[in-house]
Structure 1
């Protein structure tokens, strides 16, 4: 049962709150291990099941992302109305079991169905966590706190590359899937006993807010804000870049450099990206305190543009090792925005809308970034850019367009931020 507001206030930004943040980050790590493992194992799965690059992109991206995106909106609404703790734990149990079961797949259809269930269950996680963390910590800490949580993305991806990739090389892709699926069940048991449900909106102090409860009114309230719309579009472009390089780094190393054995080492750069996400969040909070709150969007511009020279040098490198290092460094920059993106939404909506806003955000970035990015880029590789450096040309075209368009969206979002934040 939720705590009373008076008792719950003692937990705000307390050592216990940081413990919960650590546990939620561990759960996020688990979700991304299970989500990313398909891309890590793509070369083995592709060979055994005779899949094209387009089918690999479909399996890794579309099969997961569309159901994840569609379910994220109702899951967000449910998290605004019911127990966020229950949704987090139940989702963790389901996606862990589905990843384990994927190890028995004998066809593309089998894997797609399993990925559907992983997508449904993982869609319950972040909307509930966004809402919960906004109540566990003071507003001025949010970019930092959300960035620590978001760092779990890259620790999880790193574990998938290093752990899952190493298991696959030592045994096979089936054993790797089963091995990364099971630990989530133990984490779920711990989470059930540690996490407490807090009353919504307690970090607002004595300030009251208008509780809009009708779904259509809530949806209209969120989407009518220009800042939110530019936020969704801009970070979708960055997600397009992030999910695409994760989906095809193994293909780049294998097809261009005949260096597929280097793919698991990409995990080290994912671990480092977790640190850049935290640094970006702290920088965003510093910019907001030093100048104005809208300056948090600057970190999105940095992520979209500063990475492009490194991506170019890495994608067209002459050796696999050089390509791995430069692309890895580029990704450390291009993916640093993740915590800032989630935190910014919390300033633009009311407390009983936070989970739905998070669900909408995940819907948009999943459709654009995860669902369209990998298959579209795979299609470019299969049909347009077909020479040795064809994958590099396709990826560089995608990254350049996304970086520029995303930065333009963030500039526009900054223009309307003050008015939209005041009305939240």
Structure 2
């Protein structure tokens, strides 16, 4: 049940709204800890359950990413119709329970089924949050607000590397899964007490909008906009970079520099990336205030291009420490777009389409970035780029093409933004 509009308007951008943002960000951190932890624990799981590298890749990537991507679209549609609060908290409870239950696994099949449920439940989160935050805050604040939320991605990944890995080393992988899963259940109680459902479109200057009942009509309306198509394509190229370096940083440090012990330290750069995401959102809002909303896309181009020199010198560095530092700082820049990307899409659709638009966005970047980026790069390593710095050459080729092509998409998106934007 939504609050009456007169009460809801008092909440918009109030101190309470920032508290809700903090709780939602905490939930997002939990989702990425539970999502990434399998990669951190992979060596121990592989040894105990006698798994091949292919099976580990299936468990970490395919078992999660495709079900997450596919379910995000119907979850977005449901969030546009039903209670966003209920969807967020229900998803949190399910993925936390599944993470705890995974600690009792005795087979690969058991873990894959649990990962399926983690993927399904996590797919309910961000589409609903995107829609809810658009009602909790004024339109001119969205770049900043969505970037604070998106920072949870990298804080969560950092926690999974640092805390999850440390618990696994001190005890075992099962204990680590229990330790990272249980806090989500406690956060769910806090979220239920704090978050309130708001009427959709409360931040609109014109609060009346045409209802669209058909799923097909909504998807068609969203995708027929040129800016949306360039947005999806451009940020998919940037997701190529982010998912690929996350998947192969271990290979760079281990195969090129024989410094596998440094891999957990990459978690610190993930934590720092959360700060760059927030800074990028703040700058994007300043650019929009001064020159127009379409200029938020500039931060996407900055992420895609400014990182390239750092990646180059890091990937071809002569020492492991230099490689870690330069690649880590490059990632801080290349992943800074996450909040801005989620915010921009909210300006291009009607209030009753925001969650579905968010689901479509997550579907595209998950399939392209997670589903295609790492396998394509791995194929280049196996087929064309061999030798001591073969992985570095493959990664640099992928990053350069992705950064340049993504920036071209953002330039085209800026040209059509004004004609495609919606009020509020």
Answer whether TM exceeds 0.5 for this pair.
yes
Cα distance in 2, alignment partners of residues 168 and 250 from structure 1: 18
Return the offset for 1:54. 5.0
Contact 2:231 2:413 in 1 (8 A): yes
Instruction: Name whichever of 254-263 and 329-338 sits farther off.
Output: 254-263
Contact 2:294 2:417 in 1 (8 A): yes
Change (3 A) 1:356 1:147: same
Matched, 1:415 2:415: yes
Change (3 A) 1:376 1:60: farther
Return the offset for 1:213. 2.0
Instruction: Please give the residue correspondences for 1:189-228 in structure 2 after superposition, counting only pairs within 5 Å.
Output: 189-228=189-228
Change (3 A) 1:100 1:318: farther
The equivalent of 2:330 in structure 1 is 330
The equivalent of 1:388 in structure 2 is 388
Change (3 A) 1:356 1:71: same
Return the offset for 1:38. 2.2
RMSD: 1.8
The equivalent of 1:251 in structure 2 is 251
Change (3 A) 1:55 1:331: farther
Contact 1:57 1:247 in 2 (8 A): no
Cα distance in 1, alignment partners of residues 58 and 115 from structure 2: 11
1:311-333 residue CA offsets vs partner (Å, 9 max, x unmatched): 12112222222211111100000
**What TM-score, normalized by structure 1, do the two folds share?**
0.95
Return the offset for 1:49. 5.1
Contact 1:62 1:372 in 2 (8 A): no
1:31-89 residue CA offsets vs partner (Å, 9 max, x unmatched): 01111112223344455556565554433222211100110000000000000000000
Cα distance in 1, alignment partners of residues 418 and 357 from structure 2: 18
Return the offset for 1:254. 2.2
Cα distance in 2, alignment partners of residues 306 and 60 from structure 1: 30
The equivalent of 1:399 in structure 2 is 399
Contact 2:347 2:423 in 1 (8 A): no
SS at match of 1:197: coil
The equivalent of 1:269 in structure 2 is 269
Return the offset for 1:104. 3.3
Cα distance in 2, alignment partners of residues 7 and 422 from structure 1: 25
Cα distance in 2, alignment partners of residues 404 and 52 from structure 1: 36
Instruction: Name whichever of 53-62 and 336-345 sits farther off.
Output: 53-62
Contact 1:54 1:382 in 2 (8 A): no
Contact 1:40 1:263 in 2 (8 A): no
Return the offset for 1:365. 0.5
Change (3 A) 1:248 1:98: farther
1:298-355 residue CA offsets vs partner (Å, 9 max, x unmatched): 1001111111111121122222222111111000000000000000011100000000
The equivalent of 1:344 in structure 2 is 344
Change (3 A) 1:374 1:41: farther
Instruction: Please give the residue correspondences for 1:116-195 in structure 2 after superposition, counting only pairs within 5 Å.
Output: 116-195=116-195
Return the offset for 1:118. 0.9
Instruction: Name whichever of 18-27 and 310-319 sits farther off.
Output: 310-319
SS at match of 1:182: helix
Cα distance in 2, alignment partners of residues 373 and 113 from structure 1: 24
Return the offset for 1:103. 2.7
Instruction: Name whichever of 61-70 and 142-151 sits farther off.
Output: 61-70
Query: Tell me, which stretches of 5 or more residues in structure 2 are unaligned?
Result: none
Change (3 A) 1:51 1:309: farther
1:338-392 residue CA offsets vs partner (Å, 9 max, x unmatched): 0000000111000000000000000101100112222333333344434332322
Cα distance in 1, alignment partners of residues 52 and 399 from structure 2: 22
The equivalent of 1:310 in structure 2 is 310
Cα distance in 2, alignment partners of residues 344 and 420 from structure 1: 11
Change (3 A) 1:166 1:68: same
Contact 1:96 1:182 in 2 (8 A): yes
Matched, 1:30 2:62: no
Change (3 A) 1:178 1:257: farther
Instruction: Name whichever of 376-385 and 345-354 sits farther off.
Output: 376-385
The equivalent of 1:87 in structure 2 is 87
SS at match of 2:375: helix
